[in-house]
Chain A
Amino acid sequence: MKLPLARGPLSSHVLALLEAAPSGLPAPDGWADEVQDVLGDDDLQLALWILYELHYRGFDGVPDHEWDPHLIALRTRLEQRFEAELRQCTAGYVEAALHASEDLFDQVMVVVDAVDGPSLPRYLQREASSVEMLDFLTQRSLYHLKESDPHAFVIPRIDGRAKVALAELQYDEYGAGRPARLHAQLFADALDACGLDPAYGAYVDLVPGHTLAVNNVMSLFGLSRRLRGAALGHLAAFETTSSVPCRRIAGGIERLGLPTVVAAYFHEHVEADAVHEQVAIRDICGGLVEDHPELRGDVLFGVAACLHLDVLAARGLLGSWERRREDAVVRQVA
């Protein structure tokens, strides 16, 4: 993948480090301290995304800086702000769930019901134009081309029933023995069929801060053993809000007459995620909390963080389409 374009001082600094020797340039004093909207800041979220990407596929022509202590230190500073902000935004949901029930399944559902936002899948099903649907696929490509990879980092950090169930779920995500059925491959096939670029990371420059944050939160949780509970809670929230929405999205794709392989990706997820949501909540998170009761709060934090960021990203996307429609009306009138 090519390096993304800088979006401000933080991402510029990270890009400069990757192109030179990382330890050569010290971080400016108070680095990232002045960022206000941590969850939506284009520059901060892009800087974090670039640093995380070193642990996935890396960048063309950039030497191996994956474990450079200076870059890890910069990343840690961004992560501290990111995690603190997420904890603050979600503490109320976690508290409410802990008080509502003692049962983990019910607690997860309390958070799912409580985090409220616009229904992007319903809009895609009934109203979205082809341009908007392609925009949606473009935005989603950042994650779906490495689908399930962030949660795979958790496997060596857990044991017993939770580990067995996570491996089972990941095996299904990774095609259950058939490379052509790898979920990331199914999404690449869908992009290709629409005339979009199926190359990994091709659209990062078009992805706004909130959607970068949706991606970054998975790496934040997946790459830290301390946050393994949150990583698995995130997985449970993701899977449990997928099956029914994917049916709506597939309906929208069929309404617009896009190629059948595009709808096929979403149909696969109607069926797969009806399984995965049960496995993720009951066996993965249930198994983890049974062995480590102290991680229950973090599991619920992961659930709430996933859903909260999804709402912010969906609002941003729907808002950008609304502005585009308004601009078109203004142009027509003028």
Chain B
Amino acid sequence: MPWSRITQSHAAHDGDRIITYKEAIGEAIDQAMEYDPRVFAIGLDANDKFGVFGTMLNLTHKERVIGTPISENAMTGVALGAALSGLRPIMIHLRVDFMMVAMDQIVNYVAKWRYMFQGQVKVPLVIRAVIGRGWGSGAQHSGTLQSLFTHIPGLKVMMPSSPYDVKGLFLAAVKDDYPVIFIEHRWLYKNTGHVPKEMYCLPIGKGHIVRQGNRLTVVATSIAVIDTLAACKDNDLDVEVLDPRTLKPLDEELILQSVAKTGRLLVVDYDFPRCGFASEVCALVAEKGFQYLRGPVQRLTFPECSMPASGVLEKAFYPSSARIATRIREILK
């Protein structure tokens, strides 16, 4: 299929059409399957009546959705084999925690195949990982783990925060001949925004400024973008909010440009702190933008522990727009 014909730009927003994040990802999957018969979806409960949190209920090509047993590791090998052999699989995990069972295939195989054999075989595989947060579900059902994937060479990692981005990035991921980990926060599904009807791909590795400001750069990912925007708006903070959209490849230039302007950096990333994506962005700025800095680089992440079940502890565990606002005010004091 001539995926090259799909426009790379993201010209003008379609002013008329407002749809949800959930509809946008659904539309992207539907259009990809319609456009290219090699595209198919595979995953545990991918074909059941819930349709992956409603994202895959209205597909034209339902026959190309394969439900699987609880066999995440083997199924990842199956998807990889299919990708190497000419198909373009979309693999689906209802929770990123279940995807950990497949880490052998993802880390030792999927990520390395193209490099190890120097591009003679290609891996056009997209793995959708749905993340969320606890409702007393506890440590094994509330993971995010984007940093883990970002750590592995050979994987691209996308974390779109808006309906517009989720469609454009998903199509870019399907078009791409490298494996992509595509992370969707469930709480974003109901959010609405402008989304063009036609197919379009966003460039992979380009972030964008979602709010202009002068005194601090906040780099935020996925739902943390929404929380940060709320924090800035409610408190009228003079803060620049940057959404990298893809964690890898990372738009280093945009981050450095912004910090050059503001002189300060806070990274808000809902994942564990150690060796995390937030640490990575801080390292980038410390290495390449030290001269711009007027204060220490800062991180706001999960604390260094697993997710607890009890409500009080859950509340203490998860960052929020209120906590982001407090942190920003401290920095700007």
**Does B associate with A?**
no
